[in-house]
Amino acid sequence: MSRNAIIIIIKLVLVILCLALVIIGKETVSRLHLGLMLIGVAGLLGLLYDYNRKFN
């Protein structure tokens, strides 16, 4: 497996994990669930930044 393929797989797992945090966090209203959602959104924004960095 090449290095690029491994990086793509890691990013895909991170996207799935961040989406899962957001979805799990929206089930209930509490500070813990808000924290989970914020972590998930921050992760998605970080991945989006990493993707768009190569186009600047």
Q: What is the pLDDT of residues 8-46, one digit of tens each?
A: 999 999 999 999 999 999 988 899 999 999 999 999 999
Backbone angle region of 29, left / alpha / beta, with phi > 0 → left and psi within -120 to 50 → alpha: beta
pLDDT of residue 54: 87
Domain boundaries, the chain: 6-53
Residue 56 banded pLDDT, cuts 50, 70, 90: confident
Q: For residue 2, give the amino acid letter.
A: S
pLDDT of residue 1: 83
Residue 3 banded pLDDT, cuts 50, 70, 90: very high
pLDDT of residue 23: 95
